[in-house]
C-alpha cells in the first residue's frame, strides 16, 4: 500500500471564503462594542 500525503484533505480557508470575511466582521463589531462601553464620551450612539 502506497500512501501519498500530498493528496490528503486539508481544512484550509481561502481569502475568498465568505465565512472568513463574516468572521472578521463579527470580531471587528465585538471590538467596537467593547471599546464603546469603555469610552467615557457623552456619545450615546455606537459608531457604525
Whole-number pLDDT of residue 8:
65
CA-based nearest residue to 36, from 47, 26, 25: 47
Residue 2 in 3-state DSSP?
A: coil
Region for 26 from its dihedrals, namely left if φ exceeds 0, alpha if ψ lies in -120 to 50, beta otherwise:
alpha
Q: What is the pLDDT of residues 1-48, one digit of tens each?
A: 666 667 666 677 676 778 888 989 999 999 988 888 888 777 777 767
Q: Which three cell numbers stand for residue 1?
A: 500500500
Amino acid at each position: 500500500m502506497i500512501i501519498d500525503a500530498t493528496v490528503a484533505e486539508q481544512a484550509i480557508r481561502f481569502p475568498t471564503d465568505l465565512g472568513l470575511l463574516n468572521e472578521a466582521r463579527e470580531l471587528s463589531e465585538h471590538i467596537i462594542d467593547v471599546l464603546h462601553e469603555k469610552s467615557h464620551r457623552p456619545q450615546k450612539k455606537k459608531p457604525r
